Amino acid sequence: MGSTPDGHNRQDKKKQHGMGGLLHRRKDNSLKTGSGTGATTGRCVSLSAMANVKTRRNFLLTAPLAAAAVSPLTDTLLHASITGAAYGQPDGTKTFQVFPAADVAGVIQGVQASHSTKDLINTKATAMTITINEESKKAAKEFEYHAHRDHVFQVLDGETEYQLGGVPKNARETKPGEWLAPESEGYTSVKLKKGDYLSIPRMTPHKRITEGSVTLMLVAATS
């Protein structure tokens, strides 16, 4: 390239042109991106800074970076880097429960013999309860309904009747989110026998009347 005093500067300029001419060296040894009034000076130039300078070459270099920043795949990969322990049970605590058929059968027999109620699940650790209940010749005096609980009933043995829905009359709130009403205008009666299921969404008035005997499993979900 010759031995002129500015020989090194010429080499620098050629190296800079090899990068697309995006970086130009100034007399004070700082770098300038692009040209004109939109130029940015500093000792170090990042791709994000280059993206703010509106030139065709800058766009071609920085567009892939910008696309990756907003890509759903990028977000997925970032979340994938979180270890499974963040979502699992690192302390080994079991939150699931298994109820073998033989154990459940034993609970049912015990409940039927004592005409009582037994909880399978009823802890503050879950938002769900499972209860087995047996009753004979029993009728609820009032309709009840709940703001934060949904019910599913399964008839394990016997028969019963439910009065469902309608418009509660003279209802009173016994505690937050829990109501009782002496009657519900326009309710529907359904009779359930062994093997039947009944789903009762929250805020649905319901009342049970058992003329003979019935064994029920109640699953209640609270939110």
**Residue 96's pLDDT is what?**
82
Q: What is the mean pLDDT of the chain?
A: 76
Q: 13-24, pLDDT tens digit by residue?
A: 444 444 444 444
**Tokens (6 digits) for 88:** 């699992």
**Residue 134's pLDDT is what?**
97
Domain end, chosen from 49, 81, 113, is at 81
**Residue 190's pLDDT is what?**
98
CB-based contacts of 50, cutoff 8 Å, min separation 6: 22, 33, 34, 58, 61, 62
Domain count, the chain: 2
**Residues 157, 72 share a domain:** no
Domain end, chosen from 27, 47, 81, is at 81
Listed residue (176, 172, 187) closest to 147, CA to CA: 176
**Residues 148, 61 share a domain:** no
**Residues 108, 72 share a domain:** no
**Residue 106's pLDDT is what?**
96
Please check whether residue 149 is in contact with residue 206, taking contact to mean a CB–CB distance below 8 angstroms.
Answer: no
Asked, for residue 94, whether it belongs to a domain, the answer is no
Asked, for residue 105, whether it belongs to a domain, the answer is yes
Structural domain boundaries, residue 46: 7-81
Task: Give pLDDT < 50 ranges for the chain.
Answer: 2-5, 13-43, 47, 65, 68-74, 76-81, 83
**Residue 87's pLDDT is what?**
57
**Residue 63's pLDDT is what?**
52
**Residue 58's pLDDT is what?**
55
**Residues 61, 28 share a domain:** yes
Q: What is the pTM of this model?
A: 0.59
CATH of the domain at 154: 2.60.120.10
